[in-house]
A and B are shown apart, each in its own frame.
Chain A
Amino acid sequence: MARYALRRLLVAVPTLLGITLITFVLVNLAPGDPATSAAAQSDRGLTPEAHAKLRAQYGLDRPVIVRYGAWLSRVVRFDFGRSFHDGRSVRAKIAERLPPTLGLAMIALASAVVIAIAVGGHAAVHAGGWVDRFAGVACFALSSVPRYVMGMVLIVVVGVRWGLLPFMGISSTDAADMSAPERVFDLIKHGLLIGVCFVYPLAAYLTRFVRDNMAVVMASDYVRAARARGLSQGQVIVAHALPNALLPLLTVIGMLLPGVLGGAVILEVMFSWPGMGLLMYDAAMQRDYPVIMGLTVLTAAVVLLGTLIVDLLYAVIDPRVRYA
């Protein structure tokens, strides 16, 4: 098991290198560069000499492969360089964007799991009942609503027409003057609408998953045996059915994790949520190569690690799975 994990980690290294190399070359060779976009922002025409000087200042006058080598030698020392846009270190820029995305993702995932176990579990125990039928239709319908469509509807109805909740940014402009509890309340209010957009597709997917698994378990021999021994419905569900139905849920959550952690570019742009997705969008628009590369390494590493953890979890959960 440990050897398998180690081998997988070793295999992940060339994959990660390949991803960074391709991204680096693609982004750098694409027409237009940060020197041009910086010039466009200054509103003045740029002489060829000034452009060349800017390029040299950004280090863009060297061949791509040389630049990649230089970048790589710094990255292995965990130095991701400085942003072309505002000169701040890439590590600091990413670090300040992680909490909004991660916090939202974890809370959304936790709420979705709670909803899934409650609704999916109930639907499976009372298979064919009205909760089961309603949840089935609702899950199918909700899984056909794209998150950004839901976001637009929530913004226009709850945010604009009813004026109930704020939908831009993560805090009010006067948040600095608020007391601590007020600030927390303000944060929750700002996160609620975008949070719903994260929760409902996860909840719809996981509810179906829990329901189907749980229904199989409820029909199994050991549940029948538990009933035969005279256990109550509650004991059967809590002690026998749920644990077995929930084990596969762990692996599914592991599979969903990379996508959830990666944030959502469109949603974060739509709600001006200062997370990883918005940083990704801004970096792409500004051709901020160091930030683009830093984000690429981070997201790729998270996805690779996520799949590895899922594979290992299979072995931990199911003793029949062996890795050599």
Chain B
Amino acid sequence: MNAGDVDMLPPRGRKRSALLLLPVLLLALVALGAPLLAWDQPIVCRHDGRLYFPALVVAGQNVPVIGGFLRRDVPFRYPDFVARSDLDATAFALWPLIRFNPDEYTDEALSPPSRAHWLGTDDRGRDVAARMLHGSTVSLRVGIFAMLLAGALGIAVGAVAGYFGGWNDGVLSRVIEATICFPALFLILAVLAWVGRGVGAVVVVIALTQWTLVARLVRAEFLRMRGADFVTAARSYGASPLWIALRHMLPGALAPATVTLVFGVADAILIEAGLSWLDFGVPAPAASWGGMLRSAYEQMRSAPHLVWPPCVAIFVSVLACHLAGVWLRGRIDPLAK
């Protein structure tokens, strides 16, 4: 044992290469641009003497806020318009990698991987590769929004408990404790019964079960900082509690909370897939990895090839979030080398 070994002892606060962010960035790109990779209409094409961007418009519609203002062009929004056959084959068209819509039923059900369907088709004849790519949109959306909600809730509760301490802390700590003890499955069913199934319900359910991690962390940080000189100084010149909490204490607690939230996105993604596997999650026609895993489970004897795409997708995205979390942890740690 020499002194050099001590350096590598705590793996926590080591600075890491920003390359660790690459997987999560790629994942985000796939989630945003899924229709550019797999869709049954071209990205760009010339039709009746005009340029259309059908798949690009669909990708734009997936973007929050802006998406609401986008509308698909006339021939391409009609269900009876099949771009693969109705477009002039000689006219210019730039197609996505996979020329299938994730929700499109074809005649070949449960076919193994082939030249037409790279990862095969599921029980309704839908292209598995297209569904796998589009599943990332649902997963990442749920993961990010659930953690934003959980973060807001956790920071608010943790800050109040940690800033005021005493009686407030006692009550809020019991609330946190109760939430941890609460059987998550029953909470999920209750929320689903009230809100109805959908992405929103899944986001709310995940946020309601996952906010306690952040709350406990922020509470501990605030308790630690309460007696610090910079807080006493701020108080002495008459700063309001809200100002002290937001301006002086929150920045110190925000960094560790962010790390927890990034790891939390991974948890949220796998909770969402698990819920969809149990058929409580994102409702059926939408492409979700959990739903794909469920149909693979039901067809495990007739079509074992269905298992791999959702498994790989879930593993890769969880791993990507973990790598980003590790990078961030090294990044915010002031003691990191």
Q: Are A146 and B273 in contact (CB under 8 A)?
A: yes
Q: Are B189 and A144 in contact (CB under 8 A)?
A: no
Q: Which residues of B contact A31 (CB under 8 A)?
A: 193-194
Which of B9, B277, B278 contacts A212, CB < 8 Å? B9
Q: For the complex, what is the distance from the CA of A270 to the CA of B277, rounded to whole Å?
A: 10
Q: Which residues of A contact B315 (CB under 8 A)?
A: 144-146, 149
Interface of B is mostly: helix
Q: Are A18 and B311 in contact (CB under 8 A)?
A: no
Q: Flag whether B246 is at the interface (Cβ < 8 A).
A: no
B211 to chain A, nearest CB (A): 16
Q: For the complex, what is the distance from the CA of A220 to the CA of B311, rounded to whole Å?
A: 43
Q: Are B6 and A152 in contact (CB under 8 A)?
A: no
Q: Are A144 and B322 in contact (CB under 8 A)?
A: yes
Q: Flag whether B185 is at the interface (Cβ < 8 A).
A: yes
Q: Which residues of B contact A27 (CB under 8 A)?
A: 186, 189-190
A128-B5, A219-B1, A303-B181 known; A160 vs B301 contact (CB < 8 Å): yes
Q: Are B6 and A156 in contact (CB under 8 A)?
A: no
Q: Are B178 and A19 in contact (CB under 8 A)?
A: yes
Which of A11, A140, A148 contacts B274, CB < 8 Å? A148
A-B contact count (CB 8 A): 122
Q: Which residues of A contact B274 (CB under 8 A)?
A: 146, 148, 266
Which of B9, B11, B278 contacts A281, CB < 8 Å? B278
Looking at chain B, what size class is its interface with the partner chain? 35 or more
Q: Flag whether A246 is at the interface (Cβ < 8 A).
A: no
Q: Are B190 and A26 in contact (CB under 8 A)?
A: yes
A234 to chain B, nearest CB (A): 15
Q: Are B278 and A156 in contact (CB under 8 A)?
A: no
Q: Are A18 and B185 in contact (CB under 8 A)?
A: no
Q: Are A219 and B182 in contact (CB under 8 A)?
A: no
Q: Flag whether A94 is at the interface (Cβ < 8 A).
A: no
Q: Which residues of A contact B186 (CB under 8 A)?
A: 23, 26-27, 280, 284, 292, 296
B175 to chain A, nearest CB (A): 8
Q: Which residues of B contact A59 (CB under 8 A)?
A: none
Q: Are B293 and A152 in contact (CB under 8 A)?
A: yes
**Which residues of chain B in 204-248 are interfacial with respect to chain A, using CB atoms and an 8 Å cutoff?**
none
Q: Which residues of A contact B174 (CB under 8 A)?
A: 11, 14-15, 18
Q: Flag whether A242 is at the interface (Cβ < 8 A).
A: no
Please list the residues of chain A having a beta carbon within 8 angstroms of any beta carbon in chain B.
11, 14-16, 18-19, 22-23, 26-27, 30-32, 127-128, 136, 140-141, 143-146, 148-149, 152-153, 155-156, 160-161, 212, 215-216, 218-219, 224, 265-266, 269-270, 280-281, 284, 292, 295-296, 299-300, 303-304, 307
When A and B form their complex, which 9 residue pairs have the shortest distance between CB atoms, in order from nearest? A30-B193, A300-B181, A26-B190, A144-B319, A146-B270, A303-B181, A144-B318, A156-B307, A149-B311
Q: List 12 A-B contacts (CB under 8 A).
A: A15-B181, A18-B174, A30-B193, A32-B193, A127-B1, A127-B5, A146-B273, A148-B293, A156-B296, A212-B11, A219-B1, A266-B278
